[in-house]
Structure 1
Amino acid sequence: MPEAMLAWGRHSQCAAERTPELAAGGSDNVMIHFMRRGAFQMHQTGGPDVICESGHVYIDPNEVAGTSRFLAEGTEAFYISLPRSTVAGLRGINDHLRLRVDATPQWRLLQCYGEALFADMDMLTPEQIALSSRHLQDLAISAFSARDPGPLAETMAARLRLIKEDIASLLHQPDLTPELIAARHGISSRYLRMIFASEATTFRAYVLQQRLHRAHATLWDPAAIMRTISDVAGATGFSDLSWFNQSYRRRYGQSPRETRAEAMTARLTPSPD
């Protein structure tokens, strides 16, 4: 599936090792083990020895070496593997990794949805599969967040800085949408909205603010004195000049032309010194 992998396994009593070489050559996905029957023992580098039975979930960082031992004949497990970017910004994610957690209602909902997709995948269109993949990621976010709701400040702040830098490089594009930015950063649109909500704003409000700020700076720039108002508007992503003028006046209390005139007057006025 796009941005997700599903698997089901029945295991005999055996041991399986993920060597450091295998771990280094794999992805950085987070694999979620849902125990359906039997039991297994897991030890990964940096984590404790844990035993998982039915009703337990194990969160496996795919890039970490370790050994798993299936303790009962016919042990069954269902697996969902997700890109790290899907869950990296959640509070408590590091507390989940390499640990056994109880299957809360949120985890069970994720498991049931994943198993239903696994069973009916052949009957779905590519568009339905892509939509289901996004649903799967949203359910995973809900499950990880249930233990300690809300974003991890440090992780989210780092991601927000990258997103803001990306937005700054794309302000000239009129079709700068949440979906575009979310796709460029490998996250869901819902998570993108959550990131901006943490700063008490929205994606669209932030983009508008940045466009107006850049337009204002351009109008004050002596090097841009020959550029028309419509050119400044277009260069900052405004495809509608009327909307640009309205938004600008609401933000700065004057029209773009008045800002330019004020800037020219300021440059021509001698300094008191």
Structure 2
Amino acid sequence: MPQATAPAAAQANVLAPVRFNTADVPEAERMAFVREFYGPVLTGLDLAPAPDDPFRISVSFLELPGAWVAQGTASAMVSTRTTALLSDGIDDLTICRAERAYRVTTPDGREMNVGAGETGVWTLGQRSSSIIQPDTVFRSVQVSRPLLRALVPNLDDLDMVRFAPGDPVLDLMFGYAELVERQHIGSEEAGRLVAGQLAELAALALKREAPRREMSGRNSVRAARLAAAKAAIHAALHRPDLSAATIGAQLGISARYVQVLFEEDGETFSSHVARLRMEWLRRMLDDPRHAHRRISDLAFEAGFRDLSTFNRQFRRHFGEAPSAARRREVP
């Protein structure tokens, strides 16, 4: 049962455990509260109860700087990380162990079936749905991607991972999470220390998985997503509203994850888009068939919203003004 980091204002003390039980909400108001606050605001998920199992959940959780731990019980439901909810920018990894089997699916057809007592790992930075059985008892640890990226090679290649019951490192991590969830941690500094220790334990387990996947010849999830993002940019290059957010929404990943894909490839999302637009414009300026067209019209067709930005980027890219480039090319 993943948890997405809630705003600090949602809790009086972000370092104290919080408990929530649907039984404390009047039945007539229960689903409205869940759909308007508990789901999208507190967990970052859209929660839909099973039609034959009245919605109920009892959970305690503790938010830390960079991590979140939770444990509780829930009725049968589907919890979905929707495209709209991805706008919160959260792309943490969820590590969840439940006493009953559950399934995680993505819109592009990938799925992970997690058996009773097994541990599933997936990211909140993409669209996904978790199908939960009735009376599920769960423990969940959520760790921010920046904390884990410093510890786990090829972290972004680990799309969905399943661990067998009794994994000693994960047993230790969940035991530690249960211990700290019962405590009132006295300061943010202590909270950061605890979050770092949870991340280190999670990393010990995840690092065992990363080399196996790299050696297996399995296509890199990160490389595939980068290729898909580049293809989507090419298709939308001339749209003025082209952004990491629009590409992320199209691919079902967060805008921040789109930016990270390009940063790890050696350039920013914005510089990649600007370069492609400049290359297209240069081809148009060099083509005598378009010599009659105004440079400003070409700039707007390339997707630029204003001429000052276009002129500045063109000069930075080619070292001269667009008008000078065209004059040099005209015989």
User: Shorter-chain TM-score category?
Assistant: 0.5 to 0.7
1:233 alignment partner, one of 299, 302, 305: 299
**What is the aligned partner in structure 2 of residue 147 from structure 1?**
206
Shift of 1:228: 0.5
- The answer to whether the 8 A contact 1:106-1:146 is kept is no
- Is 2:162 the partner of 1:97? yes
**Matching residue's letter, 2:137:** E
1:210 aligned onto 2:269:
no
% of aligned pairs identical? 27
Partners of 1:155 and 1:168 in 2: CA distance: 20
Q: Deviations over 1:183-234 (max 9, x none)?
A: 2211112211211111121111111111111111111123222210000110
Match of 1:201 among 267, 271, 277: 267
Deviations 1:92-115 (A, max 9, x none): 345x23634515759987xx99xx
Q: 1:187 aligns to what SS in structure 2?
A: coil
Q: Are residues 238 and 195 of structure 1, via their aligned partners in 2, closer, same or farther at CA, if it must alter by over 3 Å?
A: same
| Aligned positions, number | 199
Q: Are 1:192 and 2:253 counterparts?
A: no
Matched, 1:181 2:235: no
Change (3 A) 1:187 1:263: same
C-alpha distance in 1 between matches for 2:330 and 2:294: 14
In the TM superposition, what is the alpha-carbon distance from 1:77 to its structure 2 partner? 2.6
Aligned mate of 1:58, from 119, 123, 126 = 119
**Which runs of no fewer than 5 residues in structure 2 stay unpaired?**
1-38, 48-56, 58-71, 83-92, 104-111, 123-127, 142-154, 182-198
Query: Which of 311, 317, 325 matches 1:245?
Result: 311
CA RMSD of aligned residues (A): 5.1
Pick aligned residue for 1:156 from 211, 222, 244: 222
* Aligned counterparts of 2:271 and 2:95: Cα–Cα separation in 1: 36
**1:34 counterpart = 2:97:** yes
- Specify the structure having the higher radius of gyration (Cα): 1
Shift of 1:91: 2.6
Contact 2:100 2:116 (8 Å CA) reproduced: yes
Query: Using the alignment, how far apart are the partners of 1:236 and 1:201 within structure 2?
Result: 20
Per-residue CA shift, 1:30-66, capped at 9, x if unaligned?
Answer: 996424xxxx587x9xx9x9873xxxx5228999xxx
1:146 and 1:258, CA in 2 relative to 1: closer, same or farther beyond 3 A? farther
Q: Distance in 2 between matches of 1:166 and 1:107?
A: 43
- Tell me which protein shows more helix as a share of its residues: 1
SS of the residue 2:220 aligns to: helix
Q: Which of the numbers 227, 232, 235 marks the counterpart of 1:169?
A: 235
Q: Give me the TM-score of the superposition, normalised by structure 1.
A: 0.53
Matches within 5 A, 1:63-78: 76-77=137-138
State the Cα deviation string for residues 144-180 of structure 1 (Å, max 9, x = none).
898248x988221111111111112222222222222
Q: Aligned in 2, Cα 1:51/1:232: closer, same or farther, shift over 3 Å?
A: closer
Which runs of 5 or more residues in structure 1 are unaligned? 12-26, 69-73, 81-88, 114-139, 266-273
